[in-house]
Structure 1
Amino acid sequence: MLIWLNHVCLQSEFITGVFMQIHVQSVRRAAAALVCAVALTSLTACNSDTDAAQSAGGSTPSKAAKASPAAESNGIEKLSAKEIYDTGMKTNAEAGSFHEKMEREGTESDLRLSAAECVGTVEISEKGSFEIIRKGNDIWAKPDSTFAKGMNSALGKNAFSTEKWTRGTSSNALMAKLASWCHQEQVSAPDTLDAGSKAVKGKVTTVDGQQAVPIVLTEKGESVTWYVATTGKPYFIKQDSSRDDMQDLTDSDFGGAVGAKAPSGAVVEAPAA
C-alpha cells in the first residue's frame, strides 16, 4: 500500500531550504490528522460508535439544499462505513478526472485533475500563489510576485518570474513538489479506509443539492466527515473537517476534460534541486 494511503501524518515539503514552512497535507488524509500527535490523541480514545453515529446523523452541511424527491437511491447507504468510503474513492478514480476545490487554514487550491494531467491554482497565505500545469511528466509553474520573490530568495537565483513559466519534469524535485498539490494518486491509486477505523455512517442528508450519506470519524470533539452521493453514481463529493488546519474539499465535474497543454509565452527551465 502506498504511504499516502496509510493513516499516518502525510505532508509534502518543498526541497530543503525552500519554503520549509509550507506544508501540503494529503487531500484525503484528514483522518490522519486525527491520529497524529500534532493533531489529536490516538484513536483508542475515540468516542463510542453510538456517540459518533448520533453525531453523524445530525450532521448537515451549511448551505444545503433539498435534492429532487424523484431521485432514485443507488443503494450505497446500505453498506458499511468502510464500504461506502472505499466505494466513493474508487468511483471517483474510475471517472478518470474531476474538479477539486480545497480549503484549509491559510491555503486554497482549485484544480482539475486526472492521473496524467492537472491544471489549476494554489494560493498560500502570505506566501503568494502559483498556477500549475502537469501533462504526463512535464510540469509548468507560474507564480505571482510574492511567491516568485520567496522562491528566488530561498534558491539564491532567479528561477521564477511572473512573466515566464518555469518548466521541469517529475524527476526534478522542486517541480515535483509543486505538482504534488494535484494529488493525482486519487485517480491512479484510490484511498481505502483502514479496517479498524472507528468511522461510522450517518443518515442520508443533502449537501450542495445532492443527496449523500455521511461517514464520520470523531475524536474528542474533533471530526472529519466524508460525503458519498446516494443518487446517480456513488461519487465522493465532499469532505468537512472541524479543525482549521484540516482541509475541507469538494469534488465535482467527474469525467470532464482536464485540458492540460503546454503554456504559450516565455518558458525557462527549472533549476536542478
Structure 2
Amino acid sequence: MAANRKLLAAAVACAAAFVGITGCSSEEKDPFDGMSADKIAKKASDASKDAGSFRVSGEGKQDAETVKVDFSVAKSGDCKGKVGGGAAGTAELLVSGNTQYMKGDEAYWKKAMGGSGKAAALKDKWVKTPNGETGGVCDPDAMFQSKDLKDMKREKDSEVDGEKAAVLTKSKSGKKTTFYVAAEGKPYFLKVVTSGKEDPGTMNFSDYGKPVAVKAPAPGDVMDMEELMKS
C-alpha cells in the first residue's frame, strides 16, 4: 500500500506540472518555442520599453577611443549618469524634461568644443542644452527600436550573470550585433554586443522597473550653452 501511495503522489505531481503548478521533469521549456528570432526580438523590445525604467552600462569604441557609459532612465523619460573616459575626459549627464545638463572635466569640454579656450571656464559646471525633439539620449523608443530588429538569427542559448538568455544575432555590412534576451520572467534585453571594425562595444541592461529619481541642478549652478556661445 505504501508503494501505491508513493506512485499516486508522483502521478499527482506530474498532473500538476501539466497545468503549470509544479515540475516533474528536469527538462526546461523554451519560453520562445515556435517563435522566429525577429518575433523574439520584437517581444524583448516591447517588454524593455514597457518596463518604464532601467539602467544601461558598458563601453565601446568611437573614433578609436574607448567610451564608457553608465546611466539610469526613469519612467518619465528623465535620466542621469556618466559618460566618457580616457583622453576624451568624463562628464555627468542629467536629462530633466526638455533640458539636458552636462558637467564635465576640462578634457571633456576641450574635446566637445574642439579645443575652445572656453573649456577651462566650463570645468565642473553644469551646462544646459535642449534635449532634442525626439527625447534625446535617454529615449527608450530610440534605444529599443523594433524596426531595426529585422533579419535576426537565433543562436544557442547562453547566460548573462547567471540568468538564462536566448541569443539573437544580426549581421550587416561587416558588423555583427548579438542580443541577449531574458528567457526567465519578462523577456527583457540583458546585453547587446556589437563587433566589427566600426564602433564595437558591449552594453548591459538591468534594474528594469526600479524607480529612478532625477533632479535638475539648482539654477544658480547652471550655465546656458546658447548664451555662452554668443559671448
TM-score higher than 0.5: yes
1:200 matches 2:153? yes
Letter of the 2:206 counterpart = S
Task: Provide the secondary structure at the position in 2 that maps to 1:84.
Answer: helix
Map Cα deviations across residues 79-138 of structure 1 (whole Å, 9 max, x no partner).
Answer: 110001111111010001100013112111101114520100111542211101001112
Query: Which residue matches 1:138?
Result: 99
Query: Which residue matches 2:204?
Result: 250
Q: What do you get for the CA RMSD once the two structures are aligned?
A: 3.3
How far apart are the structure 2 equivalents of 1:188 and 1:220?
Answer: 21
Unaligned runs of 5+ in 2: 1-24
Query: Which residue matches 2:72?
Result: 112
1:79 to 35, 42, 55: 35
Structure 1 residues 193 and 140: alpha-carbon distance in aligned structure 2, compared to 1, 3 A threshold = closer
Give the Å deviation of 1:209: 0.8
Contact 1:215 1:225 in 2 (8 A): yes
1:164 matches 2:125? yes
Between structures 1 and 2, the one with greater helix share: 2
Give the Å deviation of 1:161: 2.1
Structure 1 residues 238 and 78: alpha-carbon distance in aligned structure 2, compared to 1, 3 A threshold = farther
How far apart are the structure 1 equivalents of 2:147 and 2:112?
Answer: 36
How far apart are the structure 1 equivalents of 2:148 and 2:119?
Answer: 45
Between structures 1 and 2, the one with greater strand share: 2
Aligned residues: 197
Structure 1 residues 143 and 227: alpha-carbon distance in aligned structure 2, compared to 1, 3 A threshold = same
Task: Provide the secondary structure at the position in 2 that maps to 1:103.
Answer: strand
Letter of the 2:96 counterpart = K
Task: Provide the secondary structure at the position in 2 that maps to 1:93.
Answer: helix
Give the Å deviation of 1:240: 1.7
Contact 1:74 1:231 in 2 (8 A): no
Map Cα deviations across residues 230-271 of structure 1 (whole Å, 9 max, x no partner).
Answer: 100010111122336223111000011221101257222222
1:121 to 82, 104, 126: 82
2:54 to 98, 104, 121: 98
Query: Which residue matches 1:263?
Result: 217
TM-score by length of 1: 0.61
Higher alpha-carbon Rg:
2
Letter of the 2:177 counterpart = V
Q: For residues 166-245 of structure 1, what are the structure 2 equivalents within 5 Å?
A: 166-170=127-131, 180=136, 182-184=137-139, 186-187=140-141, 190-193=144-147, 197-218=150-171, 223-243=176-196, 245=199
How far apart are the structure 1 equivalents of 2:174 and 2:159?
Answer: 23
Task: Provide the secondary structure at the position in 1 that maps to 2:214.
Answer: coil
Letter of the 2:91 counterpart = F
Higher relative contact order (CA 8 A, sep 6+): 1
Letter of the 2:36 counterpart = S
Task: Provide the secondary structure at the position in 2 that maps to 1:217.
Answer: strand
Give the Å deviation of 1:224: 1.8
Structure 1 residues 240 and 151: alpha-carbon distance in aligned structure 2, compared to 1, 3 A threshold = closer
Contact 2:106 2:119 in 1 (8 A): no
How far apart are the structure 1 equivalents of 2:41 and 2:92?
Answer: 31
